[in-house]
Copies of this chain bind each other. A is one copy, B any other.
Amino acid sequence: MRMAELSEESGVPVATIRYYLREGLVPAGEHTSPNQARYNAGHVRRLKLVRALLEVGGLSITEVRRVVQAIASEAPTLDILDVAHTSLITSKAEGSEEDRAWALSVLEQTAERVGWVLVPDDKSTQALIGLLCTFRTIGHDAMLGDLERYARLAAQMAELDLAALRTPTTPESIVERAIVGTVLGDALFSALRRLAQQNEAKRLYGAE
């Protein structure tokens, strides 16, 4: 199909598609003449994915590019999953040295109880350390009393997440699904959590 049709099929304006092409978020079409290229169903799919990551997932153009490169790469599954999971983590070095030491020891205890291997330099560990320091800075570290229970729920969820990836499918889509599951899955679970909180709040406070 030509550009005009690609735009209609995907619902993305032509100028936006050209921008995504320049930014490397969508692969180039097959050139049929110096000024004309042909696109296929793969381009339509990719455009919808890019839109979802930007608009629903709230990723930046740079993050989407990193994610799209992971989809295109042919590394072993574990490496690709690692990119999918960690390319989306943004962590800042929050907290004083003392706070960070406290956060690491809290995490180490939790990981040991839940049976996780904790790699201190890892991006996800660093992100968690930063978050724990933030809770402490604003004086809400008492809320972390249930950290182990939340970690156990996260472990149950990760089992569901990874099981969903194992359903046989095309080789490309295991990575794509890992990313969709990570970006949109977080948004979906947050929304489910809101609904659950509302129901629980009604149950607890509804008769007040």
Residues of chain A having any CB pair with chain B under 8 Å: 45, 48-49, 52, 55-56, 58, 76-78, 81-82, 85-86, 88-89, 92, 94, 111, 116-118, 122, 124-125, 127-128, 130-132, 134-135, 137-140, 142-143, 145-146, 149-151, 153-164, 166-167, 176-177, 180-182, 184-202, 204-206, 208
Q: A124-B195, A184-B131, A195-B124 are in contact. Are A208 and B77 (CB under 8 A)?
A: yes
Contact of A194 among B76, B77, B124, B153 (CB under 8 A): B124
Contact of A160 among B89, B149, B194 (CB under 8 A): B149
* In the complex, residue of chain B having the shortest beta-carbon distance to the beta carbon of A197: B158
B residues near A194, Cβ cutoff 8 Å: 85-86, 88-89, 124, 127, 182
B residues near A155, Cβ cutoff 8 Å: 196, 199-200
Query: A201 to B116, alpha carbons, bound, how many Å?
Result: 12
Q: In the complex the two chains form, is B150's CB within 8 Å of A153's CB?
A: no
Q: In the complex the two chains form, is A162's CB within 8 Å of B52's CB?
A: no
A sample of 17 cross-chain residue pairs with beta-carbon separation below 8 angstroms, ordered by A number, consists of: A81-B201, A82-B201, A89-B194, A116-B196, A118-B195, A122-B198, A128-B188, A134-B184, A140-B176, A140-B177, A140-B184, A153-B157, A154-B189, A157-B193, A158-B199, A161-B197, A166-B204
Q: How far is the CB of A29 from chain B (nearest CB, A)?
A: 20
Q: In the complex the two chains form, is B198's CB within 8 Å of A82's CB?
A: yes
B residues near A149, Cβ cutoff 8 Å: 160
Q: How far is the CB of A28 from chain B (nearest CB, A)?
A: 21
B residues near A197, Cβ cutoff 8 Å: 81, 85, 158, 161-162, 182
Q: In the complex the two chains form, is A184's CB within 8 Å of B135's CB?
A: yes
